[in-house]
A = this chain, B = another copy of it.
Amino acid sequence: MKGLIGVLGGMGPAATADLFNKFIAFTKANCDQEHIPLIISSIPNIPDRTQALMHDGNSPLPLMQNYLHLLERAGAECIVIPCNTAHYWFSQLKESCHVELLSIIDSTMQEVVNSKKKNIGLLATNATVYMGLYQQKIEELGLNCLTPNKEEQQKVMKSIYLLKSGEIEKAENLMKEIADQLFKQGAEVIVLGCTEVPVILNKEIDKYKDKYIDSTSALVHAGINWYQKRQRN
């Protein structure tokens, strides 16, 4: 299947479903057959990424590589990973990958540049923040990156784990509090740098589209662009 996109998902399942929903919503199609072909691995036994990086948990890399190769064998010509924290291992994944691998960080940063804002808030996992996956790139552009303080960051993490256990409303209240805090501190726009966060702040993003840069949406846009180019080759 020309242009088949593989989704290395399950980190977590709700974020993977959100990416799938967005592929459908963002594609202009008049019938089933005009939608983008996807093969989605939502096999969630991959060890927790934040646990691995912050608390010496098992590495998720071997299973991520397994499922990446499973997608390749199924015919994927391009692979996307709807998990920001997983991108800590991006270069190792890219090395073992025989097809195109799109980075959610680079796709999101492109939208940061397009926004022309200077003060960029960041809502992400402890590991993504601690490893500086976004801050470094934001600061390289001469922009200012605002992150929650230590106590607030614990609430962000708690909200993310609440969603993973199905407690959507509690997760939303907690995350909204920290988003408001970042805006008060001067953020003009907030990068949702964990793919669970757009699921948690779904209603809020619908209301105030310009206030957020959703990493899942950015990755979907990059995937659709890749697919359209591939059709012309």
List residues of chain A with CB under 8 Å of any chain B CB. Answer: 1, 4, 10-14, 16-17, 20-21, 23-25, 28-35, 37-48, 70, 73-75, 161, 164-166
Q: Is A24 a contact partner of B20 (Cβ separation < 8 A)?
A: no
Other-chain contact of A20, B11, B20, B74 (Cβ < 8 Å) = B20
* Complex: A46 Cα to B34 Cα, angstroms: 11
Q: Are B10 and A43 in contact (CB under 8 A)?
A: no
Task: Taking A12-B31, A17-B17, A30-B165 as given, write out 18 further A-B residue pairs in contact, using a Cβ cutoff of 8 Å, ordered by the A residue number.
Answer: A4-B43, A11-B32, A12-B35, A13-B20, A13-B32, A20-B40, A21-B21, A28-B166, A32-B44, A32-B48, A33-B44, A33-B45, A35-B42, A37-B44, A38-B42, A39-B70, A40-B40, A73-B74
Instruction: Determine if B31 and A48 form an interchain contact, defined as CB atoms under 8 angstroms apart.
Output: yes
Q: Is the CB of B31 within 8 A of A164?
A: yes
Which listed residue (B29, B38, B47) contacts A40, Cβ 8 A?
B38
Residue of B nearest to A51 (CB): B31
Q: Please determine whether A10 and B31 come into contact, CB atoms closer than 8 angstroms.
A: no
Min C-beta distance of A107 to chain B, whole Å: 21
| Among A23, A25, A166, residue most surrounded by chain B Cβ atoms (within 10 Å) | A166
Check A40–B37 contact: CB distance below 8 A: no
A28 to B: closest C-beta gap in Å? 8
- In contact, B31 and A165 (Cβ under 8 angstroms): yes
Copies in the complex: 2
Q: List 5 A-B contacts (CB under 8 A).
A: A12-B31, A31-B161, A38-B40, A40-B42, A70-B75
Residues in B neighbouring A21, C-beta threshold 8 A: 17, 21
Name the B residues within 8 Å of A4 (CB-CB).
43
If A74-B73, A74-B74 touch, does A1 touch B33 (CB 8 Å cutoff)? no
Inter-chain contacts of A31 with B (CB < 8 A):
12, 48, 161, 164-165
Rank and list the top 7 A-B pairs by shortest CB-CB distance, nearest first.
A12-B32, A40-B40, A37-B43, A32-B44, A38-B42, A35-B44, A13-B35
B32 touches A37 (CB 8 A): no
Of B10, B25, B70, the contact of A74 (CB 8 Å cutoff):
B70
